[in-house]
């Protein structure tokens, strides 16, 4: 049995490929919406966050022989729990990650290492700030940007109830909420930037599959300042960015698990 942490479109494709290569697999996601996507691909799936001890229990109960961590690049807790539980159980940990994007030295692009730093950078710039980093860290930006008469904070996020409740709780007005499911084309990004008079756009370096390049290119084209949050620095050991490399690694280190 392979236990795969999923939740993104490329993770789903990888899980399906693992299954097609003859491995028994159990996928894991956080939300029901992500689970539906995996179920449609005929992949076994469980839903909900798991602490390290819960993963270890699952490994023993399901006789898991390897963990493939294909969760989002910014899912730090999930990464650490998966690595620690694999180590404790004595099974291989294989990390798949979307390839990072390489950006030029455009003066309108500023790279920071944390959400807090991104919020402070946006506060310096003022204007209409479009936040495209999701609801989980919205409170960090709300703390620094809401209430400043020179800043309009526009939150672009998934149309989920918990996100809308968080906006209401933090005081983000409805007129400043864009609740849409991506990915977005460059044309749609440009239209949204124009609609909200965006002068600053904040995003995460999630990789090409996350359509970050479309957001950034559209913003820079319109002369918008971009604040890009770099990926967390985690020592994964070997990291694979190609599906076939993951399959080869599974065949090499765990060929007995088929």
Arithmetic mean of pLDDT, 118-145: 96
Quick one: CA dihedral 68, 71, 74, 75, positive or negative? negative
Q: Are 31 and 47 in contact, with CB atoms under 8 Å apart?
A: yes
Q: Are residues 138 and 81 in the same domain?
A: no
- DSSP class per residue in 31-49: SHHHHHHHHHTT--EEES-
Q: Are residues 144 and 85 in the same domain?
A: no
CA distance 37 to 246: 21
Tens-digit pLDDT profile for residues 89-116: 999 999 998 776 666 678 999 999 899 9
Say what the pLDDT of residue 254 is: 62
Q: Which H or E element spans position 158?
A: none
CATH code: domain of residue 114: 3.40.50.620
Q: Are residues 33 and 48 in the same domain?
A: yes
Counting residues of the chain whose pLDDT is more than 90, the rounded percentage is 70
104 part of a folded domain: no
6 part of a folded domain: yes
Tens-digit pLDDT profile for residues 216-234: 989 999 999 999 998 877 8
What is the extent of the structural domain holding 63? 2-99+233-257
CATH code: domain of residue 12: 3.40.50.2000
CA distance 254 to 173: 52
Tally of domains within the chain? 2
Closest C-alpha among 88, 30, 78 to residue 56: 88
How high is the mean pLDDT of the chain?
Answer: 90
Arithmetic mean of pLDDT, 127-143: 95
Say what the pLDDT of residue 60 is: 95
Tens-digit pLDDT profile for residues 189-219: 999 999 999 999 999 987 655 567 788 989 9
């Amino acid at each position: 049995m392979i236990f795969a942490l999923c939740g993104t479109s490329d993770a789903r494709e990888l899980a399906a490929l693992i299954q097609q290569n003859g491995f028994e697999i159990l996928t894991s996601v956080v939300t029901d919406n992500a689970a539906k996507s995996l179920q449609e691909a005929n992949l076994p799936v469980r839903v909900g966050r798991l602490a390290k001890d819960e993963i270890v229990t699952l490994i023993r109960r399901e006789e898991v022989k390897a963990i493939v961590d294909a969760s989002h690049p910014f899912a730090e807790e999930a990464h650490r729990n998966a690595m620690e539980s694999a180590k404790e159980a004595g099974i291989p940990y294989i990390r798949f990650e979307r390839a990072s994007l390489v950006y030029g030295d455009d003066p309108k692009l500023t790279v920071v290492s944390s959400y807090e730093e991104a919020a402070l950078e946006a506060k310096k710039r003022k204007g209409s700030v479009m936040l495209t980093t999701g609801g989980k860290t919205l409170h960090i930006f709300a703390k620094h940007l809401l209430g400043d008469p020179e800043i309009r904070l526009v939150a672009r996020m998934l149309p989920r109830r918990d996100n809308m409740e968080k906006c209401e709780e933090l005081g983000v007005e409805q007129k400043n909420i864009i609740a849409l499911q991506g990915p977005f084309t460059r044309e749609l990004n440009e239209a949204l930037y124009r609609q909200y008079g965006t002068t600053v756009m904040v995003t995460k370096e999630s990789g090409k599959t996350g359509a970050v390049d479309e957001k950034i290119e559209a913003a820079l084209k319109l002369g918008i300042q971009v604040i890009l949050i770099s990926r967390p620095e985690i020592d994964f050991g070997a990291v694979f960015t190609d599906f076939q490399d993951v399959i080869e690694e599974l065949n090499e280190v765990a060929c007995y698990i088929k």
